[in-house]
Structure 1
Amino acid sequence: MNIEIGKRIKALRLQKGMTQEALAARLNMSSQAVSKWENNVTLPDIQVLPELSVLLGVTIDELFALTDDTHLERIANMISNELFISADDFSYAENFLKGKLSDGNEASKAHCLTLLARLHIHRSEEHRKLASHYAKEALILDPTCKNSHNALRDAENGVIFDWNYSNHHKLIEYYTSFVEQHPGYWRAYVWLLNYLLADGRCTEARGILESLKFIRPGYLYPLYNGLICKEEGAMTEALVLWEQMTDQYPDDWMAWSARGDCMAKVSRYDEAIEYYARGHELQSSPRYTDSLEAISHIYRIQGKYRDSIRKMQEIIALLELDWSTTEGKTVDYYYGEIERLQGLMDEPA
């Protein structure tokens, strides 16, 4: 995609008899930016496209000649990589995706609907970040304001003790119906189990777990059996089941990482680190960053900020090595967290 666009910009510029410097001056930017477009390093920002297309004598669609697949890829990358999506980009993405709902096959429509959901979740996350900032600023001015504390809780998806607001009966109803309609889709059972356990509905969870066992044999059965025991207060039995899980599936990295999750949830942090590390070692490339991030969180909880920073630096290196990701909101997040932790280390004791 980049190659074709870069070639097209260069060809149209030369047709107009313009140098890179001249085109850059008309766009009020550096010639290096134009050079990067033409050499397939970067793409023009969406805000530049109207004026760029006018200067080159083509429409935006003609300039990019984007296929539907390219539009979809571009939107997915924007959602994944951009920390904040501009109003113009959001409108472009939303309008394109909604327009595709009127044609295409069911799979194409489902993909567009999923992207629409992710687009609006991204927007809600942007607003939650702002809401959290404003709530914290309000609490500096008025530390005892209940509404500000509630706003911070809602912005950060915090804990609500009130059962009326914290239970998951609507999602449980949805996934109960879903597994009846799609009995062979094992992940739906897992989502249903998670919501049942979050609400302490252990008897129902055991029934769902037995159904899952037949369609998805593996580490999930001892994992969730242990989680049910934990919820019922049988912690010793839960620990035995989780140990059996990794004994039975010693080469499954997800079993070890799941055991790490279980230990972290009961604050047995040193064991959690050990199991997360083992799970990470067993992964094949490209490796996921979840285990390293969990270890970093534990170190932060323990006040071991230097170790937490070291793990986030490992994550940044892994993103580049295994995923060729060197920029975007994911990388920016880790650099931001490193900076925040360094600030905590610099604070006087």
Structure 2
Amino acid sequence: MVDAILDVAGLPKPDDAAGRAAQAREAVLTKPLRALGRLEELTAHLCAWQGRHPPIMDKVEIHVFAGRHGVTAQNISAFPASVTDQMVVNFQQGGAAINQLAAAAGAGLTVHDPFVGHATRDWTEEEAMDPASFRAAVDAGRAAVGDGVDLIAIGEMGIGNTTTAAALCAALFGGGGLEWSGAGTGLSPDGVRHKAKVIERALARHKGRLRDPVEILRILGGFELAAMAGCILEARRRRVPVVLDGFVVGAAAAVLFRLAPDAIAHCLAGHVSAEHAHRGLLARMGLVPILDLDMRLGEASGAALAISVIRAAMACHLGMATFAEAGVAGKL
């Protein structure tokens, strides 16, 4: 059954003892309690999901998933569909923003493109994926999670995928096409309205079949979105914390969230993008972004920057002296 492809039953829970150990150390470091704000929360999150204190960030990986979308035939992007192939080559040659940001963050970068030469069907006319290709996409995402990984960041590349993400969110949460449609790669206001109408057409066409989140992903999704959902879920099963990038990655996570809100408890929102609906999507899922830099590039660019913040949080947690060690008087 398609429902079993993304099975959220029996997921591991956080290690509360490791999280408490992080909080206990924060309480005796040479600073007022909670003076480092969310940096302290990030370290505790890392400990709880890695299941250890102190946390480790020796092996950090960024995974970018590429996908091609049949819905681009509906003229919903400011760039031609061929840009997906061209940007994958750019990633492989080291010429994209994410290549530079991954190196700066001390993270390995892998670009996954398991469906080279194949696009999903145009979901305004038919289902985006048949059950076999859907399962293959999810499995590709699961296979991306290797052994011994301390933290994973997830991003994407795919012309047309903000439209696909918006359609998914409209089906998952309601609200209609216009609520979830943004400029994507740079659409004009008229282009955004057209995008919303395309989404509404698809919602009407598939009405009555968009009740189960997994089926919604299969019918309205993309290969890279299915793979990202699989990657997020496999990371959870292996107790690897995940940093999500922008709106499209958030839509993949939202499928799991709608299956069980706790299914993405191991995830952090790397940033809130400038894409119209991302902030609202994060709020619905209870995720507070680490960064807000008005970015809308995708590629895991915001998530890569967030890795550097998480590294800074861990450096303070491990490197600072305690009051006793420094001979500093604590709070009276």
Which structure has more RCO (C-alpha within 8 Å, separation ≥ 6)? 2
**TM-score under structure 1 length normalisation:** 0.23
Q: By percentage of residues, which structure has more helix?
A: 1
Larger Rg: 1
Q: By percentage of residues, which structure has more strand?
A: 2
**TM-score under structure 2 length normalisation:** 0.24
